[in-house]
Amino acid sequence: MGCWEKRIGVAGSDGLGWFAQGIMTIERRSQEQVIQDLRAICQERQVTTLIVGMPYLQDGSIGPQAKSIQKFAQTLGRHLDLPIIWVDERLTSFQAEQDLIAQGVSPSRNKGLIDRRAAEIILQQWLDDQKGHVLGDTYLEG
């Protein structure tokens, strides 16, 4: 069912909020473990906002995977005491795969890299929408 059930791509921005960079991929073992891992990242990077990729269906509606992500992200936001901003993540995994292929990297052997690159794309999309604003470091899960 996509990256959410197995892995979570994480990206962060530079201090000015201009450029996104893939940081890591978290292998999902349990909700508690993911929250703990993300708490450590958020503290280390002084995160102020959670940017979460929302896997809308192609018609723009919210399906079962999106509902699951909404539920978890809201729990995460409460545990970390951070606001959540939702970003449409449709086709970001496809774009990430195409980027890897263009670099000569096999997508089928690098699923974690796909998730991390997709997170970077999602965050960069949001940062681009915010141009003109000076932002603190930002965290992305998705």
State residue 2's pLDDT score.
36
Distance CA 79, CA 75 (A): 6
Give the three-state DSSP class for 18.
coil
Q: How many domains does the chain divide into?
A: 1
Q: Strand 50-54: give its sheet, edge to edge.
A: 20-27, 7-13, 139-141, 50-54, 84-88
The two counts, helices (H) then strands (E), for the chain are: 5, 5
Cβ-defined contacts of 104-113 (< 8 Å, 24+): 111/3, 111/6, 111/7, 112/7, 112/9, 112/25, 112/27, 113/22, 113/25
- Tens of pLDDT, residue by residue, the chain (142 residues): 234 568 999 999 998 888 999 999 999 889 999 999 999 999 999 999 999 999 999 999 999 989 999 999 999 999 999 999 999 999 999 999 999 999 999 988 899 999 999 999 999 999 998 875 544 555 555 4
Structure tokens at 53: 């990729």
Buried b (16+ CB within 10 A) or exposed e, 93-122: beebbebbeeeeeebeebbbbbbbbbbbbb
CATH code, 45: 3.30.420.140
pTM comes to 0.85
State residue 135's pLDDT score.
47
State residue 1's pLDDT score.
22
| Domain span holding position 134 | 3-141
State residue 5's pLDDT score.
67
